[in-house]
Amino acid sequence: MNDPRVYTVSELNREARGLLETALGEVWMKGEVVAPKAAASGHLYFALKDAEARIDVVRFRGRSPALAPIEEGMVVLVFGRLTVYEPQGRYQFVASLVQPVGAGLLHAAFERLKEKLRLEGLFDPARKRPLPPFPERIGVITSPTGAAFHDIVAVLARRWPLAHVVLFPSSVQGDAAPAELILALARAGRFTIDGQPLDFVIFGRGGGSAEDLAAFNDERVARALSASPIPVVSAVGHDVDVTISDFVADLRAPTPSAAAEQTTPDVAEISASVERSARRLVQAISARLLDAERAWRSALRASLVREPRRAIETREQRLDAAVARLAAFPRTRLAPQIERLRHLEEVLRLSDPRRPLARGYSITYNVGDTTPLRSGRETAPGKLIETVLASGRLRSRVEEVRDA
């Protein structure tokens, strides 16, 4: 043995502590938070782990505060000193600074803004405005080139083709997106004030990462939604995505398609319901008419044996008049409903986009676009175009564009 000295446990732990703190000094460490626990003393205890190892961490009260609440599963950066807890000989890290990393930082900012706006009352259910059951004009604020707008239009065309859709285009991610979304909300408000009232606005985009959805967690956007004169339906991302816009809006839908589903009736169901109601009304009136006629005729037969002929003739005349009034009653009561059904049928027939195609017309798009071509200047030689006919589609390439 080179060193005959015998250490006590306390001495050895003290030596180990000194060696660790001196050799490494203060360092940064990254890991996933495990089992965070705040002690009554105000100290915070947790562990950090990665794929292969784990280390205990303590942040003493009075050190620099965490930039956000520390929660299970968060990935954080900690700054501090590696040491040994002498009483137990336990290896640990004493953190002086703790901050979330990446998505964790976004989540922390989300929670702080959510709590701030909640305390201000922006999420109050009493602020939520009802949507009309039969909307006539629907605004959409989203990217004009994204799948969200296509999905919304497709659902509305199937469920409620009577509604007119007005697009207010905006980018939905990136640094410019919050300002563009706020501008689109303002344009929708002016559109309504100028005499073309929107029943509500669908406000959203398809799914994405937390960074992609950041514009919908922007405080400026949240306050613009709160001030909107038009009811707003938030439809951001997929089912699992939740944004600040969802809490502020008058209604939250899990996806853009779901927003179109939740806010409109199904025209086929309404037509079937009206037809069922009309049949029941006709049956009820017919039954009452038949019962009344039977009662009158029964009374007449009974009177034949005890009343003079003049009285019988008078009653017969009254019977004829009553029967005539009852016969006209179903047509009088049903006339408004029948006229309404005919009107709806005519509107649906005229709004069918296939009618012009059946007369030999066609619709042409640049391949990849959803807006029909209205002028030769909207395409160019060499571009692929697709033509929709009454039956089938044609795909071709533009050879030449001429002015009309």
pLDDT in tens, 135-186: 999 999 999 999 999 999 999 999 999 999 999 999 999 999 999 999 999 9
213 in Cβ contact with 243 (< 8 Å): yes
Give the pLDDT score at 305.
47
- In this structure, the strands spanning 251-252 and 26-38 are unpaired
Distance of CA 399 to the CA centre of its chain: 43
What is the mean predicted confidence (pLDDT) over 318-329? Answer: 64
Residue type, 18: G
Is 0.85 topped by the overall pTM?
Answer: no
Give the pLDDT score at 2.
63
Q: If DSSP states are collapsed to H, E and C, what string results for the chain?
A: CCCCCCCCHHHHHHHHHHHHHHHHCEEEEEEEEEEEEECCCCCEEEEEECCCCEEEEEECCCCCCCCCCCCCCCEEEEEEEEEEECCCCEEEEEEEEEEECCHHHHHHHHHHHHHHHHHHCCCCHHHCCCCCCCCCEEEEEECCCCHHHHHHHHHHHHHCCCCEEEEEECCCCCCCHHHHHHHHHHHHHHHHHCCCCCCEEEEEECCCCCCCCHHHHCHHHHHHHHHCCCCEEEEECCCCCCCHHHHHCCEECCCHHHHHHHCCCCHHHHHHHHHHHHHHHHHHHHHHHHHHHHHHHHHHHHHCCCCCHHHHHHHHHHHHHHHHHHHHHHHHHHHHHHHHHHHHHHHHHHCCCHHHHHCCCCEEEECCCCCCCCCHHHCCCCCEEEEECCCCEEEEECCCCCCC
Of the candidate ranges 33-47, 80-94, 334-348, 378-392, the one whose mean pLDDT is the lowest: 334-348
What pLDDT digit, counting tens, does each position of 92-106 carry?
Answer: 999 988 887 766 667
CA-CA distance, 231 to 130, in Å (whole number)? 8
- Spatial neighbors of 140 by CB under 8 A, at least 6 apart, are 149, 152, 165, 166, 167, 168, 201, 202
What pLDDT digit, counting tens, does each position of 177-213 carry?
Answer: 999 999 999 999 999 888 789 999 999 999 887 778 9
- Burial classification of residue 245, based on how many CB atoms lie within 10 Å of its CB (0-12 exposed, 13-18 middle, 19 or more buried): buried
82 in Cβ contact with 20 (< 8 Å): yes
pLDDT at residue 68 above 80? no
∠ CA 273-277-281, rounded to 5°: 170
239 in Cβ contact with 253 (< 8 Å): no
